A and B are shown apart, each in its own frame.
Chain A
């Protein structure tokens, strides 16, 4: 009998707060982090984004990272969230635990590369940042801050990267390869992403409106979210408080188009179904769905189709929290797992800001108002990426 995988720590940083406490407060008070760009150096200042309200210097100071350390914003955000998650889990490194760090990211160190690329090509001025560009380098910077990780891995499946990191972490624990895994993702806002999504014409010029008939695209965000995962046995041994279990997950590929989801949401449907089967749950037992819900015409219709296919007319309360955090791309699966688990722990249902009119072709209605004092047992989080990388996670109260 394989041990259950449990969650013992949460860490988050996004436009709506730099800790789990601040995040809960923002979700409960309905304050969105989407606004005008103030940190990113871009000509597209008219496009709303959800930036973490700290500069690199402020992040360095708060994390005690020296000014001359070669580090990217992606890593700084990651360190902030991993630090909170490890403190939350009261991880004590005196023990001989096999600890791993699995991080999802797509842009990696691009924020520095796009600033210094001309130098990279022609001179030695910022050459130290060349080796900080790739995704793995960003994960190692996080690992080296803590110096306790004997296993590191980096996953890049676009906007489902962090969800896949959590799946891999759970598998490594189940198979007794590691005792504890810190898994999630980190991504900072870059000109590369902003311009990339802009050329695809899927950035809304107003705050995003997932599942609304008038939706016109997404708002990019940034941040990091990580979970501390361990086996129930290890948590018992070290008297760690268990927040919830990772009861099910699914990974499937839509295999339809590089940047569009299939109209019927096949990959999404397969991922959700697989996660439910693994958790041995009937669809009606899910109490809340944190949807991928980006606010693009294509994603929301495709995801809604998948939800209706799986849940029929008994669709559980659902919302996209991207109007709060923006779409944090590779970090989204981590950030939204933390939000889903905070909802489970504190008994509330975060609502889908900015929703007014149901989609004409498929009128599903997300949560339009915050719900307090609800008892939740099973929550489900969807993360879908370009290229059809679809993943679903289910967290359950003990």
Chain B
């Protein structure tokens, strides 16, 4: 079975025009997306009733479908850690402030996590398989894996998979209260060297069209996706990673680039460094969260930049963490973890 990424749509904290060779770095604790002109994609009358995350999802989905040249996907699958948190907060706040009186249904209707997949399906009139994964830092990888299962069973020829999260000011400060974010401003370009806990808050909306057919627009092939969980912090994730690779008859040395989820939190970073030291001593390592910043579905951004690398056969300087590039780029392994409890692997190859 082969599954190809044939279309990508992205809205992120990076500038809309990414034609330049250097990306934007940040010196802030919290950044929001550079949004496109939604009116280019959505009728303003409709857009007025939509929350930001829905507008972003609709637009990034449209970009991915257009690039892949597909009108009607076989499935719509979303990963989102927080879902439609903006409308959830609006309904919750007015319910609390007005003591359960004078409430309007609009915010409630759009508060459920599955509103994203539903709104995309309703716009496309897509009656196919539809699902939504909402599991913290592995929400996107679970959605991606769900799509892989559909391909394995031969149920679809293509699927739309997205990772969408918004970081509202209120949720930023809630997570700030419990140590998700750094208290001090650290340049994002040096997050890999940080000695303090916490990351930098971001958000994003990334959509992919996956297809069983390799097309001219194909970026990369997805070989497999795996997630694993430890109730107590993982002692040695390397064990699981090596077992995963050997299941695919690969050795760590067959991996040309390990794309890590290094996010600036010293405890999180150390897990990646330990795995790099133990399993990927001579392998080139990359990173991307200094460009996407951190949110529950940031690994979708990681998949997008990794797919770009495989398509171009190049690894831009700004994605390099360690090691030198010898020109061979067949296999990329995306490795991410959330609090050292949820771990995820996405194995990619060139087409």
Interface residues of chain A, those whose CB is within 8 Å of chain B, are 42-44, 106, 108, 110, 113-114, 117-118, 120-121, 124, 127-128, 130-131, 134-137, 139-140, 143-144, 147, 149-158, 164, 168, 171-172, 174-175, 191-192, 195-200, 251-259, 266-267, 270, 385-389
Contact = CB atoms under 8 A, between A and B. Distances in A.
B91 A130 contact: no
B178 interface: yes
A168 B127 contact: no
Contact of B112 (A44, A106, A120, A151): A106
A229 to B, nearest CB: 14
A197 B104 CA distance: 10
A174 B149 CA distance: 10
A158 B112 contact: yes
Contact of B114 (A144, A156, A191, A199): A156
B229 A152 contact: yes
A154 B135 CA distance: 5
A258 B81 contact: no
Interface in B119-177: 119, 121-122, 124-136, 138-139, 142, 146, 149, 152-153, 170, 173-175, 177
A256 B342 CA distance: 35
B100 A251 contact: no
B229 A143 contact: yes
A136 B81 contact: yes
A157 B96 contact: no
Interface in B76-127: 76, 81-83, 91-93, 95-96, 99-101, 103-105, 108-115, 117-119, 121-122, 124-127
A257 B115 CA distance: 10
B178 A131 contact: yes
B105 A199 contact: yes
Given A120-B174, A152-B229, A158 B114 contact: yes
B229 A44 contact: no
B100 A151 contact: no
A226 B228 CA distance: 21
Given A168-B146, A191-B100, A258-B109, 17 more contacts: A110-B92, A118-B96, A136-B81, A140-B229, A144-B231, A150-B229, A192-B92, A200-B105, A253-B129, A255-B126, A255-B127, A386-B109, A386-B114, A386-B118, A387-B114, A387-B119, A388-B122
A36 to B, nearest CB: 17
Contacts of A128: 178
A253 B118 contact: yes
B12 to A, nearest CB: 22
B32 interface: no
Contact of A139 (B100, B105, B135, B228): B135
10 contacts: A128-B178, A134-B134, A140-B231, A152-B342, A164-B131, A171-B153, A191-B100, A196-B111, A251-B129, A387-B130
A193 to B, nearest CB: 9
B311 interface: no
B81 A255 contact: no
A190 to B, nearest CB: 10
Contact of B152 (A114, A164, A175, A192): A175
Interface of B: 76, 81-83, 91-93, 95-96, 99-101, 103-105, 108-115, 117-119, 121-122, 124-136, 138-139, 142, 146, 149, 152-153, 170, 173-175, 177-178, 227-232, 341-342
B293 to A, nearest CB: 19
Contacts of B232: 147
The 8 closest A-B pairs by CB, nearest first: A387-B118, A196-B108, A136-B135, A136-B136, A253-B130, A199-B105, A156-B113, A154-B135
Given A136-B134, A258-B118, A270 B127 contact: yes
B240 to A, nearest CB: 9
Contacts of A158: 112, 114
Which DSSP category, helix, strand, loop or mixed, fits chain B's interface? mixed
A270 B74 CA distance: 14
A44 B133 CA distance: 32
B130 A388 contact: yes
A121 B108 CA distance: 21
Contact of A117 (B96, B101, B109, B119): B96
A258 B228 contact: no
Given A136-B81, A192-B95, A257-B122, A155 B103 contact: no
B27 to A, nearest CB: 26
A192 to B, nearest CB: 6
A389 to B, nearest CB: 6
A253 B114 CA distance: 11
Contact of A258 (B83, B96, B110, B113): B110
Contacts of A156: 83, 112-114, 132-134
Contact of B127 (A44, A197, A198, A253): A253
Contacts of A136: 81, 134-136, 138-139
Contacts of A388: 118, 121-122, 130
Contacts of A154: 133-135
Contact of A199 (B108, B122, B129, B178): B108
A251 B91 contact: no
A251 B178 CA distance: 38
A127 B173 CA distance: 11
A340 to B, nearest CB: 22
Contacts of A151: 227-229
Contacts of B114: 156-158, 385-387, 389
Contacts of B91: 192, 195-196
Nearest to A100: B229
A251 B105 CA distance: 27
A124 B176 CA distance: 11
A114 B92 contact: yes
Nearest to A149: B229
